[in-house]
Amino acid sequence: MYQYQSRVSYSEVDSNLNLTYFDLVNYMQDCSCFHSDDVGVGVRYLAPQNLGWFVTTYEIHINRLPVYGEEIVISTYPYQVKGMMARRAYSLETKSGELLMYADSLWVLMDLAHLHPARLTDDIIEAYPEDPDRPAFEFSRKKLRYENNGKQLGRFKVNENHIDTNGHMNNSWYIDVTRRYLPKQEFSSIYVNYKKAAFLFDELEVYLVELEQGYQVVLMKDDEVYTIVEYK
């Protein structure tokens, strides 16, 4: 299991001094990147080969959000690394060991030149061995579906600051965009299914569905679903 420590900064919190969902996902993403870099298969390894990891799902469970100034430990471990895909779990704890958040994700390695899945290299597989001591978190791995029953609340245009090294809108921005349209802001679980990548200057329509418990926010373009996020 890979870990790094940080301290929640003022620029990462909301008006109540709680870490934002946007920055929570950024912490997860940074932990993944630091881990991959440190074992030699990070962005500097992938980019010359026109390879990049695309996340397809997140399942995030929040016990509580850390607050401004709080010292935290972010952990991650990959598993089921085979074929063209890998799973990666995360946890966020206080320095004293309080579990604040745990999450699961599914990633696919992509050929960026042709935008289709690529087989994992031997270097990648060897860099991510199974960890027998990893925590035993339980995940539902639910598949989200949109029933075309949402109310359109707005539109969003992808700009330069939203683009990452893979050339599409970075994962955390989907969280930031959908959060803006929620009637309330406090949730204990967030499920994300990325269906299609958004690129520079794409204009996405935002739809809101009220669920029995929570909300579903859907980003679409030309009647095609790009991302579904459920907050519960």
Read off the pLDDT of residues 172-204 as tens digits, 9 standing for 90 and up. 999 999 999 999 888 999 999 999 999 999 999
* Category of 50 on φ-ψ map: left (φ > 0), alpha (ψ -120 to 50) or beta: left
- pLDDT > 90 fraction of the chain, expressed in percent and rounded: 92
Judge contact between 217 and 208, C-beta under 8 A: yes
C-alpha 156/C-alpha 158 separation (Å) is 7
Q: Where are the domains of the chain?
A: 2-127, 151-231
Q: Which CATH architecture has domain 2-127?
A: Roll (3.10)
Of the options 3.10.129.10, 3.40.50.1170, 1.10.357.10, 1.20.272.10, the CATH number for the domain spanning 151-231: 3.10.129.10
pTM: 0.95
Q: Tell me, what amino acid is at 102?
A: Y
> If you search the block for the tokens 């870490």, which residue do you land on?
19
Question: Do 2-127 and 151-231 share a fold?
Answer: yes
For residue range 67-108, list pLDDT tens digits in order. Answer: 999 999 999 999 999 999 999 999 999 999 999 999 999 999
Return all residues near 154 (Cβ < 8 A) that are at least 6 apart.
181, 205, 206
Q: To the nearest whole number, what is the mean pLDDT of the chain?
A: 95
Q: What is the pLDDT of residue 23?
A: 97
